A and B are shown apart, each in its own frame.
Chain A
């Protein structure tokens, strides 16, 4: 069965960076995009960007341009999302989700809580 398993919770100081991983199983990793979505406590879903694991091509939401980097390691079917220059407003649960160009997000990771606090 398709699974996306994310890395554990992180606590970071303002100005630091965080790297969240998303390990895929149960399907061909390079056949579907990986999207990243975040959700602050009590707030809605916010799309951050996508990555094509086959080509490595990426597309980032304007809000995160220059601060986010999405990469992958195809040998271990794992996608990564790194967010830099963290501030308190980045405290949120970060999700990876499988999708494709204009295709819905049919499988989601369990989420990774990132807390930014001094």
Chain B
């Protein structure tokens, strides 16, 4: 089945830019979705179809996808962005929905 690889952790200072990667074989040919999960809460969709934002998600959240890597970019990071972030793709295989292992974003 398809595998998505994320770094376990990313750290960034407030006001800086955080980039969280999601690696997969030819992931650029798939649509990637990103979720934010804060402790004790359900995940929230923050980016879908590589780079689109749901209503209510700040413009600071953006995404890109090419080759073997998709990236979630959070600009002007705030303390409230501290959370776990998961990438997800649909793969037309035996287990169609696949999540990455998650990345813990720490705001220093």
Q: A interface vs B, CB < 8 Å?
A: 35, 37, 44-47, 50, 59, 61-63, 95, 97, 101-102, 104-106, 108-111
A44-B86, A104-B48, A105-B43 are contacts. A59–B99 as well, Cβ < 8 Å? no
In angstroms, Cα B34 to Cα A106, docked, is: 11
Closest A residue to B6 using CB positions: A44
Query: Are A105's CB and B45's CB within 8 A?
Result: yes
A102-B90, A104-B33, A111-B42 are contacts. A44–B102 as well, Cβ < 8 Å? yes
In angstroms, Cα B37 to Cα A82, docked, is: 25
A-side interface mostly: strand
In angstroms, Cα B104 to Cα A60, docked, is: 28
Query: Are A108's CB and B96's CB within 8 A?
Result: no
Q: B interface vs A, CB < 8 Å?
A: 1, 31, 33, 35, 37, 42-45, 48-49, 54, 86, 88, 90, 94-102
A44-B102, A45-B102, A108-B43 are contacts. A62–B86 as well, Cβ < 8 Å? no
Query: Are A61's CB and B95's CB within 8 A?
Result: yes
| Residues on the A chain within 8 Å of B101, using CB | 44
A59-B96, A104-B88, A106-B54 are contacts. A45–B43 as well, Cβ < 8 Å? yes
In angstroms, Cα B1 to Cα A47, docked, is: 13
A44-B86, A109-B42 are contacts. A62–B102 as well, Cβ < 8 Å? no
A45-B99, A45-B102, A59-B96 are contacts. A106–B42 as well, Cβ < 8 Å? no
In angstroms, Cα B71 to Cα A90, docked, is: 31
Closest B residue to A45 using CB positions: B99
* Chain A CB within 10 A, most for which of B42, B48, B94: B42
Query: Are B99's CB and A44's CB within 8 A?
Result: yes
- Shortest CB–CB separation between residue A22 and chain B, in angstroms? 12
